[in-house]
Amino acid sequence: MTAPVTSTVIRFRVNGHDREMLVPVRLTVAELLRDRLGLTGTKVSCEMQVCGACTVVVDGDPVSSCAALACDLDGTEVLTVEGLAQGRDLHPVQEAFMEANALQCGFCTPGFIMMAVALLDAHPDAGAEDVREWMDGNLCRCTGYAPIETAVTLAASRLTAATAEDGQ
């Protein structure tokens, strides 16, 4: 039988930087990002895949970093909230959250933003139904959700318009 190992080397890319690290198998992606890489924008709350605060994007898919193991990142590309802005220019989703007042205390915001980024990446033409279907796995205890929905819809329309402009 192949003997189990308790740590493994992973090679992956996070927010555009290549990394090679030896990680224990028991380490979660959230622990890797927050404790080892100092990327504390990713929040941890329920640890049950329910609240969405820890959402990051792995190879384009939204993932609960609290319930994913770091050993699975080998060969992947990870995007966290820290990787969105270009210098001082915010990502269109971040801009839209600010404009629509889609945050109050801000704890859930990185998770919501990363989920919206994953959605608009996969479905640039996302409609109201898609927005609800993708965002309904993220919990916010302040806003009442309507401003968040407005923000994601606003970001979607801007990204679509920008893509159309690029195409001309």
Q: Which residues bind other proteins (CB under 8 A)?
A: 1-6, 8, 24-28, 30-31, 44, 47-50, 52, 55, 58, 61-64, 66-69, 71-72, 115, 118-119, 133-138
Question: In whole angstroms, how close is the CB of 159 to other proteins at the nearest point?
Answer: 18
Extract the tokens encoding 128.
């109201």
**Strand, coil or helix: 122:** helix
83: Cα separation from own chain's centroid: 10
For residue 13, the surrounding DSSP H or E stretch is strand 7-14
Question: In whole angstroms, how close is the CB of 137 to other proteins at the nearest point?
Answer: 2
Question: In whole angstroms, how close is the CB of 162 to other proteins at the nearest point?
Answer: 23
Question: How are beta strands 7-14 and 61-64 bridged, if at all?
Answer: unpaired
CA distance 20 to 23: 10
Q: Which is nearer to other proteins, 61 or 89 (CB)?
A: 61
**Strand, coil or helix: 53:** coil
Question: In whole angstroms, how close is the CB of 61 to other proteins at the nearest point?
Answer: 4
CA distance 150 to 168: 27
Q: Which is nearer to other proteins, 129 or 166 (CB)?
A: 129
